[in-house]
């Protein structure tokens, strides 16, 4: 297993993290609408990947929340080794116990989403991957209380979970404004969806892209989205 991922401007070590660096996190970190954002919160930051990606392309003050102590410690180390340590902090806590004197104008999360009856044996990985630890409803409640009136909340989900998640969000007065469906290949149904919510109802922008081209390589769309991060 790779213990470190080298990106263009930072390195992620994740050998002690419950969840490893993966495509979902990279997609969200590159896709989230961060333009003009000054205060950003990453719920379930894991290794700090998404927080660091957002630090690279903004001047924002960024906070990552992580419930797993080992993951939080490694995220703190990744942040300390980055060029943006002065405006990034990692807080080892449950989101339910987190308070902030200022609201955030962008909140991001790669939330736990698997509901299978058979959980993986590792407790930390189970907590990171399954909705038993943090339900959609609980996550969205905390997003609502921490998000500024004009702010955005961006997440990546299984495409099959979008209806459930959007309904739970609407119950918290959070409304879909943008969805990007992610296909692994052109012929397959979308596996993931990137989604942005706001506190005001707006026309929904819908689009999609494919991760892998017919030649088995990264598609042009994926390369364009991640070009500032991946070392080619």
pLDDT, averaged across the chain: 90
The pLDDT, as a whole number, for residue 93 is 94
The pLDDT, as a whole number, for residue 131 is 40
Over the stretch 155-182, which tens digit does the pLDDT of each residue have?
A: 999 999 999 999 999 999 999 999 999 9
The pLDDT, as a whole number, for residue 133 is 63
The pLDDT, as a whole number, for residue 213 is 86
The pLDDT, as a whole number, for residue 117 is 34
Residues of the chain with pLDDT under 50: 114-120, 123-132
The pLDDT, as a whole number, for residue 111 is 83
CA atoms within 13 A on the CB side of 210: 13
């Amino acid at each position: 297993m790779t213990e470190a991922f080298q990106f263009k401007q930072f390195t992620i070590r994740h050998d002690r993290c419950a969840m490893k660096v993966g495509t979902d996190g990279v997609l969200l970190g590159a896709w989230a609408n961060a333009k003009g954002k000054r205060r950003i919160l990453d719920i379930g930051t894991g290794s700090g990947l998404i927080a660091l990606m957002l630090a690279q392309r903004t001047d924002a003050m960024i906070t990552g929340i992580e419930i797993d102590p080992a993951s939080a410690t490694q995220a703190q180390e990744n942040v300390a080794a980055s060029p943006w340590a002065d405006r990034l902090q990692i807080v080892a806590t449950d989101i339910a116990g987190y308070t902030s004197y200022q609201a955030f104008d962008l909140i991001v999360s790669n939330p736990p989403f698997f509901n299978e009856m058979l959980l993986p044996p590792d407790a930390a990985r189970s907590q990171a991957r399954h909705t038993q630890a943090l339900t959609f409803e609980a996550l969205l409640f905390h997003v609502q209380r921490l998000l500024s009136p004009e702010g955005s909340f961006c997440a990546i989900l299984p495409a099959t979970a979008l209806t459930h998640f959007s309904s739970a969000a609407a119950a918290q007065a959070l409304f879909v404004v943008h969805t990007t469906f992610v296909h692994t290949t052109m012929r397959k149904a979308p596996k993931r969806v990137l989604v942005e919510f706001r506190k005001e109802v707006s026309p929904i922008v819908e689009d999609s892209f494919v991760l892998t081209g017919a030649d088995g390589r990264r598609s042009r769309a994926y390369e364009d989205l991640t070009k500032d991060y991946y070392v080619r």
